Structure 1
Amino acid sequence: MSKYLKIVLVSLLFVLLIAVRAFQANLFYDPLIVYFKNDYLYTGIQNIVVWKLVINMFFRYLINSIISLGIIWVLFERKEYLRFASYFLMIAFVILITVFVILIKDNFESGYLLPFYIRRFIIHPLFLLILLPAFYYQKLSNR
């Protein structure tokens, strides 16, 4: 793949990640957006439809993961990296969503910071920021 095509594709994929973030309110059910902006200081957690929140978080995570895998493929073109990233993202989601649901059921009694950051890792492609430098370092080490 040519260098210019890679730049265009990676730029397009990053624009897609930005679009998911920009249109989050229209695309996904997430009452915790307002709660974590300011309400957590004054009120307890509202009535949340947990199954609806989990399904919407799953779809958002899936969309971000597919775009992230596309970025990894375009940049490195290695099946091993793609396979590792896929497994990593799946395992991370299962662990994070399990802990998150437990914390929601507990009404954030142990504090709001842990659920806040777990939710961040689920709804934003933060693992991409971890995987890209790791794969780049691995690529440099294999030369």
Structure 2
Amino acid sequence: MPNKLLRYIGISIALLLIVSIRFFEHKLFYDPFLQFFKSEYQNKSLPEFDTFKLFLNLFLRFIANTILSITILYLFFLNKMHIKIAAVLYVILFVILISVLFYLLLFSSSPNYLFLFYIRRFLIQPIMLLLLIPAFYFQKLTSQ
């Protein structure tokens, strides 16, 4: 029982850290699009941004959320194969999404703001965790 209790405490701490990243996002990360997408952005032009600084901060936030998400997945399932699969999926997801995001920001004359919003959202929020938990749980149920 203490082992299970420690796992639940670890999951709770990781979830609390994910919430903290979201709560303190303005203080922790450079992202001029945070305020932009909270306003009526449809008729505005994109805000000015420092490309390198934006990429670095998106990367750092993605890594922080990924590490916490993988920790939660491991503590939830205790399966190293799940962690390997999740890590590969996170890397592939990051490469694809960051490429599309910067293509839209740097080379598109009029990017679709809604598409831009959702790509960015996928990078800065732990949405993959919400998809992987039921997927791994279903896989666990069907393999027994």
Q: Same fold (TM over 0.5)?
A: yes
Bigger mean CA offset, 124-133 vs 4-13? 4-13
- Within 2, Cα distance between the matches of 1:107 and 1:43? 15
Matches within 5 A, 1:6-17: 6-17=7-18
Match of 2:141 in 1: 140
2:73 partner amino acid = I
1:24 counterpart = 2:25: yes
Match of 1:111 in 2: 112
CA contact (8 A) 2:70 2:87 kept: yes
- Within 2, Cα distance between the matches of 1:134 and 1:6? 20
Query: Secondary structure at the residue paired with 2:58?
Result: helix
- Within 2, Cα distance between the matches of 1:45 and 1:22? 24
Query: Secondary structure at the residue paired with 2:111?
Result: coil
Bigger mean CA offset, 108-117 vs 57-66? 108-117
Cα drift, residue 41 of structure 1: 3.1
- Within 2, Cα distance between the matches of 1:37 and 1:107? 22
Cα drift, residue 131 of structure 1: 0.4
Match of 2:3 in 1: 2
Matches within 5 A, 1:42-121: 42-106=43-107, 109-121=110-122
Segments of 4+ moved more than 4 angstroms: none
2:84 partner amino acid = R
- Within 2, Cα distance between the matches of 1:85 and 1:24? 24
- After superposition, what is the alpha-carbon deviation per residue over 1:91-139, rounded to whole angstroms, capped at 9, x for unaligned? 1000000000001114561320111000000000000000000000011
RMSD: 1.3
Cα drift, residue 51 of structure 1: 1.3
- Within 1, Cα distance between the matches of 2:97 and 2:5? 37
CA contact (8 A) 2:73 2:83 kept: yes
Cα drift, residue 6 of structure 1: 1.8
Alignment identity in percent? 38
2:110 partner amino acid = E
- In the superposition, the TM-score normalised over structure 2's length comes to 0.94
1:142 partner amino acid = S
